[in-house]
Structure 1
């Protein structure tokens, strides 16, 4: 009973607020289809988080539900994301594209993590920025933050940065398309390998036609598949850290699992899509549910962003984000040239 308010579970008001924000994001996306729905959801959360009048509710009655949205609904959305990808889709890219895509993820992740630590970013921020920029944006940040038990303030800055740079990519990459001499399919490959969020990839690549969009989405989802091993490795590292701390009698607590349940669910969803004839209606329903869950989760993450604190951290976090953005775009362009 201690988890209930007079009207229901403590998390219900925040869940309802996140659901209302997701509906608003959907309505705005309908009016402005060029802007990805999930980007709108994050932006709405960030905007609400800056309103002084909303602060008491965000840190009070809505806090439990927004936390559930940002963490548990995020994990459910990631699981359903696996149904978008089949191993056959990946194999159709060819080994050169597959290996170059994996290399881009690893190089961007390692380079961003190194730079973030070199610049002295606090806590888990270097890891979360590296995860978001190299894999799949704010969704990856939310998944990784749950595994390493990152604080809300550590998560907020990476979410704001990856949203900013992903939105810039929608504008900047099409401007560079023809000056770089890329064909339509090459542009789609570049976008899929270099843009962060799936929705941002769709918004950017669709201008080059359906064939380019198809290539972009498959390349992007191949990057998404890297979320499972990267999170699993982070979980193992976190287990080792907790073990060391506990042996030193500095901290006690349950160690995270080697493979988090939602990561196992994501892999299971990919295998299901790969080897079972899943009806189109189920795929479409799962896609709608996944979008709704991630929109609610990203609103919850965005509402924790405090732009004043982001500015207060100085130029270091912004510099790391911009360098990582430029790095993945450059590596993606090299991969396109190699695959040509």
Structure 2
């Protein structure tokens, strides 16, 4: 029994070590080919390994730990590189756009889903993931509306596919367009679905863009809470039964991000320590992107129907275009 437990934990650690190994190789490749960048190398190497070699379920748990927990640590450390004034300023400049993205993205997804006769719960999950923060939003909303596991997996796979596409395409677009770092940061932070990809793409394009994109994304993530409350209000009116599992709607790690920013703003964290935290955070993001790549199983995407994929594509394009248009004309 003890040997079995040890073996299971060993396999769990293999997933974590695999992410670290990929990140280390990707870091040096990124130094050699900066136009591609370490995060893209980590994503591509992870995807390649995931689809050419078997990875045990226990090892995948280690990979999942990296994607979920290590990402949060990286974001908390990034808080030490930003002053409170910067966070407030960036948040104020992007708040209206975030409202457009969240409300418009969910509305468009529900409307297109209805047009294609897709189950409303699936459309809501896809819309929430596209408009707010990918799989995290889907998981929270799933608990509120008691969605079936099959529908939840379908929605997460759809969002995951377009998030990977965005991670690979957005850096290329950002280098082509004539936008300021502020505009690019706000665009990336408000358009890419998953937090890990926002942070990765942002810092791939530069520290300033990465800090702006991360801040915008965290403000956007906070909209999980009002969305959940709105769903609860609607369901209570319809069913008279209050849903459950909505306490997880508030992303606690954002408090850590803000606290680190407060410490930095008041000099508790010095500039030299801030720089060290920033470098550690950026390497942790590379590790996370390796984990994201290791979760890409192309066989799952072949099982998705065309209609949900089309809904996800339309939602992704809406968010991308409305965000780009806003920063082009108003930022």
TM-score by length of 2: 0.72
2:252 & 2:314 partners in 1: Cα distance? 33
Q: Could you tell me how far 1:313 is from its partner in structure 2? A: 0.6
Q: Could you tell me how far 1:265 is from its partner in structure 2? A: 2.0
1:75 & 1:67 partners in 2: Cα distance? 12
Aligned pair in 2 of structure 1 residues 72, 90: CA closer, same or farther (>3 Å)?
closer
Match of residue 36 from structure 2: 35
Aligned pair in 2 of structure 1 residues 319, 287: CA closer, same or farther (>3 Å)?
farther
CA contact (8 A) 1:112 1:130 kept: no
2:231 & 2:293 partners in 1: Cα distance? 25
TM-score by length of 1: 0.70
Q: Could you tell me how far 1:88 is from its partner in structure 2? A: 1.5
Q: Please provide the CA RMSD for this pair.
A: 4.1
Structure 2: gaps (5+ residues): 144-148, 193-197
Q: Superposed, which structure 2 residues align to 1:289-328 within 5 Å?
A: 289-328=280-319
2:64 & 2:169 partners in 1: Cα distance? 28
1:303 & 1:94 partners in 2: Cα distance? 33
Q: More deviation in 147-156 or 301-310? A: 147-156
Aligned pair in 2 of structure 1 residues 4, 231: CA closer, same or farther (>3 Å)?
farther
Q: Secondary structure at the match of 1:71?
A: helix
Q: Could you tell me how far 1:14 is from its partner in structure 2? A: 1.7
More helix by share: 2
2:60 equivalent to 1:67: no
CA contact (8 A) 1:198 1:220 kept: yes
Q: Superposed, which structure 2 residues align to 1:1-340 within 5 Å?
A: 4-5=5-6, 11-51=12-52, 54-55=53-54, 58-92=55-89, 97-107=93-103, 109-111=105-107, 113-114=109-110, 118=114, 120=118, 127=125, 130-131=128-129, 133-134=130-131, 140-141=133-134, 143-144=136-137, 155-175=156-176, 177=177, 184-185=179-180, 188-195=181-188, 196=192, 197-203=198-204, 214=208, 216-217=209-210, 219-233=212-226, 256-257=247-248, 259-276=250-267, 278-339=269-330
Residues 29-84 of structure 1: per-residue CA shift (max 9 Å, x gap): 22221224333323322222211xx22xx224523322322222232223223334
Q: More deviation in 220-229 or 19-28? A: 220-229
2:122 & 2:259 partners in 1: Cα distance? 28
CA contact (8 A) 1:87 1:274 kept: yes
Q: Secondary structure at the match of 1:305?
A: coil
Structure 1: gaps (5+ residues): 207-212
